[in-house]
Structure 1
Amino acid sequence: MTSSRTTRSALIALGAVGAAGVAAATWGIGIERYLFTLRHATARSLPAGSRSIRILHVSDAHMAPWQHRKQAWLASLAGLRPDLIVNTGDNLGHVDGLEGVRRAFAPFAGTPGVFVHGSNDVHGPAPRNPFRYFLGPSKRHPSPPSLDTKAMDGFFTDDLGWTKLNNAAATLSVAGSRVDVFGVNDAHRDWDDLEVLPARIDALGARPADVPVLGVTHAPYQRVLNAFTDLGADAILGGHTHGGQVCIPGFGAIVANCDIPLKQAKGLSVWSHAGRSIPLNVSAGCGHSIYAPIRIACRPEATLLTLLPRA
């Protein structure tokens, strides 16, 4: 009798776990990945005397042509009329993803913007076991499909007027004021070249004390964040982590797909290095691989980040 009761209890527990798993998967695949959310954040980090900057930070769209809801939501954000767009990469998620990227970002033409590449702006996704994501930073697929990176870059630079910051620096006019920006290519694929940045920043010329400086990266590896801090960034923006994508409610991310501390894998935090502390905004992004269409406790997002001068 005791054995029968034990077996029945075990079966009930197993059934409850299975039902919870099915419910979570149903929520994450069928509902939450469509709950596009605009997050608002504010930080005082700009030089005294500078003007505030309203930045729309978008990342990790991983766009496929049939994702019309995501395209329409991104396009609607143009109504926010931000001062600057910062796009931290992984825009493409399909060989025909540029169709959707055009529909999503065309309304932003004429708004100053910058972008960097993630690896999925160059190589398309390939089928893989989604559970490997939780075993550590993802590895390079041996033969990923190539994407039309040149056409995407041309759309961003020629049609929208945005500036590419792959291992580069630039000066922008934002809301009538000068803003200096620099960035790196995807550090997750070791495409970042931090050694070239000092000379390229110096080439921008003398910078008045009230000019803000922004650092932009796709993957927020600690080596990049530390270097950006040393190079004088007043704020850093990154993506790549998907905020963990599948998180534990009340706890947060269980993986970040890079070496950033898990508590900083999503949202606005403070990065401290060598005596400096500056705002770091890591976007959870608004997409996912077409081979891992799920989000749990981590809604797809963009951020309206307002940077204010220090008191």
Structure 2
Amino acid sequence: MRRSISIPLGIMAAGTAGLAYAAGVEVNVYRLRRFSIPLLAPEAQPLRILQLSDIHMVPGQRRKQAWLRSLADLAPDLVVNTGDNLSHPDAIPEVISTLEPLMALPGVFVLGSNDYYQASRLNPTKYLRPGDRSHAPRRKRAENDWPALQAAFTKAGWLDMTNTRASLDVPGHGALNFVGVDDPHVRRDRYPELHDDDGNSGGDDRRDGHGDHAGDGEGEQRDDALTIGVTHAPYVRVLDAMTTEGIPLILAGHTHGGQLCVPFYGALVTNCDLDRARAKGLHTHSAGGHTAHLHVSAGCGTSRYAPVRFACPPEASLITLLPRAS
């Protein structure tokens, strides 16, 4: 009898210890992941891109704020913010002050659903559903003051890549092209059409789900410049469109890398229709006769209603684009 009781007690103790580790330790073990991709012309200088995603800031997260500020010491050539900066409506000032050193650098951004809508408690079993989980909100949801966040980023000089195309001059590297969409997870994405030789667009070029323009990009895209795709959630329809166009690099977030992973197995879910094997890290995506490099950031935060991580530490990524072999 004593042995039969000790087994479930041992399981309970292990589960409690695992939960304590996930909530109290790993969620604060920030790391920088590094990747290299040979994409540039043979004579080009390496280009260092810092990708931030899924910060999910809550007021008072001093350790996270200090770590994010320290990333400016890397002196990247470009910052790409792939959204979900917020997990509390009062955290906007802390996001802006935390990212201020990085906002002094060239950058681009898109917003995520948690930037637009206030975080709420959800049934965790919903995350186990496979397939395309994107949909517009089915009921009225309280919104964050996302225009203030958007305005702070654009005032600092970051390009808002919401459903648009733009070109950005990066000192020492020349022009880079960007194609971005609003968050596909809440069906705000409107893929920006290619412009013809006269500058005309063949489709809907709205910049956000409200139909408001957030400000034009820095300049028209250059035919001879590298193009980077930017999206918050890596839904296959967006990846297919960008890859079919021939965009060689796509940056995304949203998945949290699975957030609660099984060691030696990986993510259980991606919270979108991307397969689990590509829940985080550098992979490829093929469509329309082209293949793109796809980097999905596991992000550095969590929803304030699920502040745990297991076998998936919070992260940012430094992606170095290298010259191709001649």
TM-score by length of 2: 0.87
User: Are the counterparts in 1 of residues 177 and 221 from structure 2 also a CA contact under 8 Å?
Assistant: no
Shift of 1:12: 2.5
CA distance in structure 2 between the partners assigned to 1:76 and 1:299 by the alignment: 17
CA distance in structure 1 between the partners assigned to 2:139 and 2:12 by the alignment: 35
User: Are the counterparts in 1 of residues 166 and 220 from structure 2 also a CA contact under 8 Å?
Assistant: no
Q: Do structure 1's residue 161 and structure 2's residue 179 form an aligned pair?
A: no
1:291-310 alignment to 2 at 5 Å?
291-310=305-324
Shift of 1:261: 1.3
Q: Do structure 1's residue 225 and structure 2's residue 222 form an aligned pair?
A: no
The change in CA–CA distance for 1:186 and 1:206 in structure 2 (over 3 A counts) is closer
Q: Percent identity?
A: 44
**Which SS does the other structure have where 1:271 is aligned?**
strand
Q: Do structure 1's residue 250 and structure 2's residue 247 form an aligned pair?
A: no
Structure 2: runs of 5 or more not aligned: 200-218
Shift of 1:45: 2.3
Shift of 1:208: 4.2
User: Are the counterparts in 2 of residues 170 and 201 from structure 1 also a CA contact under 8 Å?
Assistant: no
CA distance in structure 2 between the partners assigned to 1:289 and 1:79 by the alignment: 27
Q: Do structure 1's residue 193 and structure 2's residue 174 form an aligned pair?
A: no
Q: Do structure 1's residue 171 and structure 2's residue 167 form an aligned pair?
A: yes
**Which SS does the other structure have where 1:156 is aligned?**
helix
CA distance in structure 1 between the partners assigned to 2:221 and 2:152 by the alignment: 31
Shift of 1:99: 1.8
Deviations 1:49-74, CA, capped at 9 Å, x for gaps:
44431000000001111111111111
The change in CA–CA distance for 1:49 and 1:247 in structure 2 (over 3 A counts) is same
Equivalent residue number for residue 207 of structure 1: 222
Q: Residue type matched to 1:186 in 2?
A: D
**Which SS does the other structure have where 1:99 is aligned?**
helix
Instruction: Please state which structure has a larger fraction of its residues in helix.
Output: 1
User: Are the counterparts in 2 of residues 130 and 292 from structure 1 also a CA contact under 8 Å?
Assistant: no
CA distance in structure 2 between the partners assigned to 1:201 and 1:126 by the alignment: 46
Shift of 1:81: 0.6
Deviations 1:12-48, CA, capped at 9 Å, x for gaps:
2212221111011000000000001111111112344
CA distance in structure 1 between the partners assigned to 2:143 and 2:60 by the alignment: 19
Deviations 1:84-113, CA, capped at 9 Å, x for gaps:
000000011101111220122011233110
CA distance in structure 1 between the partners assigned to 2:289 and 2:271 by the alignment: 27
Q: Do structure 1's residue 61 and structure 2's residue 55 form an aligned pair?
A: yes
**Which SS does the other structure have where 2:261 is aligned?**
coil
Q: Residue type matched to 2:144 in 1?
A: L
The change in CA–CA distance for 1:107 and 1:294 in structure 2 (over 3 A counts) is same
CA distance in structure 1 between the partners assigned to 2:222 and 2:77 by the alignment: 20
CA distance in structure 1 between the partners assigned to 2:34 and 2:197 by the alignment: 30
CA distance in structure 1 between the partners assigned to 2:230 and 2:43 by the alignment: 23
The change in CA–CA distance for 1:10 and 1:46 in structure 2 (over 3 A counts) is farther
Deviations 1:224-269, CA, capped at 9 Å, x for gaps:
1111112221200000000000000111101000111111110111
The change in CA–CA distance for 1:81 and 1:66 in structure 2 (over 3 A counts) is same
User: Are the counterparts in 2 of residues 241 and 257 from structure 1 also a CA contact under 8 Å?
Assistant: yes
Shift of 1:143: 4.2
TM-score by length of 1: 0.91
CA distance in structure 2 between the partners assigned to 1:167 and 1:200 by the alignment: 17
CA distance in structure 2 between the partners assigned to 1:51 and 1:174 by the alignment: 12
CA distance in structure 2 between the partners assigned to 1:119 and 1:111 by the alignment: 25
User: Are the counterparts in 2 of residues 165 and 182 from structure 1 also a CA contact under 8 Å?
Assistant: yes
The change in CA–CA distance for 1:39 and 1:200 in structure 2 (over 3 A counts) is farther
CA RMSD of aligned residues (A): 2.0
Q: Do structure 1's residue 40 and structure 2's residue 54 form an aligned pair?
A: no
User: Are the counterparts in 2 of residues 46 and 234 from structure 1 also a CA contact under 8 Å?
Assistant: no
User: Are the counterparts in 2 of residues 130 and 291 from structure 1 also a CA contact under 8 Å?
Assistant: no
